[in-house]
Structures are given as structure tokens and as C-alpha cells.
Amino acid sequence: MKRFSLFALAALLIGCTQNDSQIEQLADRMPIKISLEKSRANDTAFESGDQVGLYVVNYNGSTAGTLTSTENHISNACFTLSTDWRADEELYWRDASTKADFYAYYPYGNPTDVSAYPFSVKIDQSAEADYWASDFLWGKRSGVAPTKNAVTITTEHLLSNALVYIKAGEGYTAEELAAADVEVKICNIKNSATINLATGVATATGGVTEIIPWNTGAYYRAMIVPQTVSADTNLISISINGKEYSFATDITFTAGIQHKIEVTVSAPSNGLVVNFSIKEWSVDDNIYSGEATYNPDDTPMPANNEIWYTSTDGQIIEPYSGEENNYATPSFGANIMSNTYENGKGTIKFDGEITMVGDYAFFGCINLINITLPSGITSIGEFAFAGCENLDNFNIPENAIEIGKYALYDCISITGCIIIPNGVSKIGEGTFAYCSSLANIVLPNSITSIGWSAFVDCDNLSSITIPDSVAEIGGAFLEGCDKLTKVYCKPTTPPSGNECMFDENALGRKIYVPHSSVSVYKSTQYWSDYADSIEGYDF
């Protein structure tokens, strides 16, 4: 707690109705003095330049007065700390006998309503100065009799305090974690409040946001408006070298309480797992615990022996057996133990880690809407999701290195952006053919080959970037992409091509290549057919 002492704070200046004896009493008043520590290292004292607001409310006989916004004995007097605490003007007791209540708050402001004074903590508290600027202190001293001695007011923290510790778990060393790029956010938090200066209660207001805490070096720290965060919303987000993790739990941030959040980051074989243990800093010994899993899209991910999905009719989606067409039974690298659909989500569980999605695994599953594959999958087979015409959300696992031909053929509902993981070396023949709703595709620098008709008739594809690692491009790979206006081709050496790499619409689009390679592209077989569309670009 921070403390400050106000020597002989006195009443208003003498009015014309005061008698001679009162004037003589005022002549004996001591000037206002204060003696304080000047370090914030342990949150117990103020620093030079800090300003505190003070209200003084007189008693009426033995009855305490009521704090109002303006009609007090002293209303919002400003005290500034230099070598000692000094008010903007001299202040006096009302007389030698009238008691008073003292109300103090920090930082100094201009309250227009003492019952609902608005205050907000900083959203970005990553700088130490912004963290301290988010603190709010309040104190009250009741029934103080006029005295020449010091009036001591002890202030309290009206906000809560979060301390987040990141610790290295199994598979990580402290040195590796210290060298990693770590970002921490406290989520779904209201950063605004109204403060009742009479009672010292802060009430959260407004919408929720994310708080970026101050990294002290040993832990992350943030001022939090008192409030409750429920388990159905994310509480903590952590990014480690660009990979996102999340955790949700029930917790109540309480005024004057430090909530210690210990985060242990482990790296088991199925990806990073974050274990959280939260312990109250005060005498409350409740422990909150849970587990978070890696999620590149900031949404939950299945374990490595599960596949999650949803369907149009809320029914189970069976992997495709294909017996009537002599297709092989799909292989997942493990056997299916159960396939259930509950609470709007299907879950296929296997007896071991899934390493692949076999050929024709979900071929023609027209009721499939969404599927989430675990990160342990390394390959997706031929025609694995072909004909899934209602599939609108699909993730390619981060460890995938192989995507079979026609894997997503005729998946006309897939929207948004598809990100190919770094490690995939080939986009197979017809892999994204007829994905007419696909708007964007991100190809990693591991791609060396793009197959025939890979993106044929992707009607909504507006741009594409060919990484500089690509050495071979199949024919008609962008045929029928009517909205495609820009192609960015990074290789300095033109990839080997085939007839009709693009189509007649290519004459109306730009093909950007490195400045130094423009002439080479324009003279290379198959690329020369589009010479008028080729322009130099700074990549």
C-alpha cells in the first residue's frame, strides 16, 4: 500500500462571520507537511511529481457529513509530492473542535460525480510507465479531530493485479524459452470502471478487450479492473514464436488482490501443451487449473488421436469405404475406436496417433461442413475430400508434407484463405480444382512443383504468389480463374512450364516477376506466350 501524511489539513479560509477567538485559533495552525518514501519498487510509496486529490467533509456535531461532488469543506484539493507534499493553496480546519472525514485518491483528476468517477486502465501496459499509470488508489480516514500533528491516510489498491509467470516444462529448457519470442495477452477483460470515491468501490463498465501486460523480466504484470471472467471465454493467450495457445477458466479479479498465474509450457510429441495453475496472492488458497493446446487459428484443436467435424444434418460422417468402386479402405495410421456426434460436434477417436488421411477417406461426403485435423498428420491422400461440396472450413495440419492429387476436387464451398504448411513440397494435380469459393491461397517456400489443373476454375481466387522455390508448373494450373488479376512469380529462373499454363484470360492480368528476370521470362518457352503481361517487380 502507498501512504501519505497530511499535516494539520485545515478548514476553508476565514469567512466574515468568524469571531476574534477563531482568528486567534487559526493563527496557531501548522502548515501542511508530509513525509513519504519515494520508491515504487515494492508498491508502498509515491514518487516525486505524483499528485493526490483530497476531500474533507466536516461532522455536524457527532454526525458524519456526506461526501458530495462540490459542497464539501474541501473539494478535490490537489497535493503534489516534491521534497514533501504541498497543496495548491493553504488549507485550514473549520475550527479547533469540528471533526472531519478525509477522502484521498490517486492519480489526481477532475471528478464531476464522486459516486461514479470514470477511470480506465491502459490496454497496452507493456511499458512500465503505462503499467503504473493504470494504478488507482483510494483511502479514507474517519472522525479526525483538529490537530497540529500529522493526519495519516493509508491508501488501498481499488484494482486487481495479475502476475503471469511463464515456466519451461518437459521438452523445453529455461534457456530455450528465454530465447523464444513470447507474447502474452489477458483476454476478455473490461478495462473501464466507475469509481465511488465515497465508498472506494470500482465497478467494471463497457465492453471487453485484451490487456497487454508489462514484461518485468521475471513475469508479466497487469492492472485489472475488478471483474469475473467465466470459463466459456478465453482468459490467457500466449504466442510462442508465432504459435498461439489459449486457456479459459472461471476467475474473479478482486480489488487489492494479486492473482498469480503460473504457465508451464511443455513440448510433448503431439505438440506444445500449456498447463495453467492460478493461485490467489491473498489468503484465498483456491487453485484454478486446466490445459491448453496449440492452435494456429486461435481456436481449439483436437488431440492427435482424434478428428473433429460437423455435418449439415447433425449426423455421424463415416469415412468412405469405397467397396462398391473398388477403392481401398482409407488408412489413418491407426484404427477407429469410436465415432460419435454430440453437442453439435462429431468426434472420431482412434487407438493411436493419426499420421495420415488415406486416399478417398471422406470422398463424396456431401453432408460434411467442417473438419479439423490434428497437427500430427503428415499426409493427405488422393481424392481424400473430393466431392465434399458443403465443406467450407478446412485446415491443413502444420506437419503435413504431402497432399495428394485431387484432394479437394470439387469442394465448391471452401471460403477464405487456405494456408499450406511449410514442409509441403508439391501441389498435386487438380488438388484445389473447382474450389470456386476459395479466395486466397498461401504457398510456402518449400513448394517445388505445382501440378496440372491445380487451381482450375477457382472462380474467386483474386491473386496468387508463386514462391521462389518452385521449379515446375503444370499446364492449365490457373485455367478458369476469372477473377485472378495478379500473379506474383518470385523465382529468378522461370519454372519449367507447359502449354496453357494460364488461359486466354491471362492476357488481361499482370504477371509480376523479378526485375532482373523480365527478359528471361519473356523469352522462355511457354512463358513467352504471355510476354505482354509480364512486368518487373521488387520482391
Contact by Cβ (8 Å): 311, 278: no
Range of the domain at 222: 160-293
What does the buried/exposed string (b/e) look like for 205-226 if buried means 16 or more CB atoms within 10 Å of the residue's CB? beeeeebbbbbeeebbbbbbbb
CA neighbor of 137 nearest in space, from 252, 46, 214: 46
Cell of 532: 505482354
Cα–Cα distance for residue pair 52/128, rounded to 1 Å: 20
Residues 266 and 312 in one domain: no
- Within 147-211, strands assigned E span 150-154, 156-157, 160-168, 182-196, 201-211
In eight-state DSSP terms, residue 82 is: S
Residues 333 and 264 in one domain: no
Residue ending a domain, among 107, 124, 157, is: 157
Residue ending a domain, among 293, 324, 348, is: 293
3-state secondary structure of 512: strand
The answer to the question of residue 521 being in a domain is yes
Cα–Cα distance for residue pair 516/513, rounded to 1 Å: 8
Measured in whole angstroms, how far is the alpha carbon of residue 319 from the centre of its chain? 36
The answer to the question of residue 492 being in a domain is yes
Q: CB within 8 A of 111, min separation 6: which ones?
A: 53, 69, 76, 117, 197
Residue ending a domain, among 269, 293, 317, is: 293
The answer to the question of residue 301 being in a domain is no
Count of the separate structural domains present in the chain: 3
Residues 129 and 200 in one domain: no
Task: Report DSSP letters for 86-143, one per residue.
Answer: EESS--B-SSSS--EEEEEEES----S-TTSEEEE--SB--SHHHHHTT--EEEEEEE
- For the chain, the C-alpha Rg in angstroms (whole number) is 34
Q: Would the pTM of this model clear 0.85, i.e. be above it?
A: no
CA neighbor of 208 nearest in space, from 227, 183, 182: 227
Cα–Cα distance for residue pair 57/399, rounded to 1 Å: 68
In eight-state DSSP terms, residue 63 is: B
- Half-sphere exposure of residue 471: CA atoms within 13 angstroms, side-chain side: 3
The answer to the question of residue 352 being in a domain is yes
Per-residue model confidence (pLDDT) at position 329? 66
Cα–Cα distance for residue pair 241/253, rounded to 1 Å: 29
pLDDT by position in tens, the chain (length 539): 454 444 333 333 333 334 444 444 444 554 444 443 333 434 667 788 889 999 999 999 999 999 999 999 999 999 888 877 788 888 888 888 889 999 999 999 999 999 999 999 999 999 999 999 999 999 898 998 887 777 788 888 999 999 988 887 766 778 888 888 889 999 999 999 999 999 999 999 999 999 999 999 889 999 999 999 887 788 888 888 877 777 777 889 999 898 888 877 766 444 334 444 333 444 444 444 434 333 444 567 888 999 999 999 999 998 887 655 555 667 898 999 999 998 889 999 999 999 999 999 999 899 999 999 998 999 999 999 999 999 987 888 888 888 989 999 888 888 787 888 888 988 989 999 888 888 888 888 899 999 888 988 888 888 788 999 999 998 888 888 888 888 889 999 999 988 777 765 555 678 899 999 999 999 999 888 888 888 998 87
Residues 175 and 284 in one domain: yes
Cα–Cα distance for residue pair 165/258, rounded to 1 Å: 13
Amino acid at 276: F
Contact by Cβ (8 Å): 417, 442: yes
Which alpha helices (H) appear in 329-451, and where do they start and end? none
The answer to the question of residue 299 being in a domain is no
Residues 64 and 185 in one domain: no
Residues 458 and 501 in one domain: yes
Q: Is the dihedral of CA 452, 454, 460, 464 positive or negative?
A: negative
Q: CB within 8 A of 124, min separation 6: which ones?
A: 130, 212
Residues 246 and 153 in one domain: no
Cell of 80: 503534489
In eight-state DSSP terms, residue 374 is: -
Residues 12 and 47 in one domain: yes
Task: Report DSSP letters for 267-310, one per residue.
Answer: --TTS-EEEEEEEESSS---EEEEEEE--TTSS----TTEEEEE
CA angle 129–134–138, rounded 5-degree value: 125
Residues 331 and 448 in one domain: yes
Amino acid at 11: A
Contact by Cβ (8 Å): 439, 416: yes
The answer to the question of residue 231 being in a domain is yes
Which CATH number do you get for residue 126? 2.60.40
Residues 209 and 280 in one domain: yes
The answer to the question of residue 442 being in a domain is yes
The answer to the question of residue 499 being in a domain is yes
Contact by Cβ (8 Å): 195, 202: yes
Which CATH number do you get for residue 487? 3.80.10.10
Which CATH number do you get for residue 183? 2.60.40.2630
Contact by Cβ (8 Å): 111, 88: no
Measured in whole angstroms, how far is the alpha carbon of residue 131 from the centre of its chain? 18
Residues 127 and 151 in one domain: yes
Residues 487 and 456 in one domain: yes
Q: What is the side-by-side strand order in the sheet with 160-168?
A: 214-215, 220-224, 160-168, 258-266, 273-280, 287-293
Per-residue model confidence (pLDDT) at position 471? 93
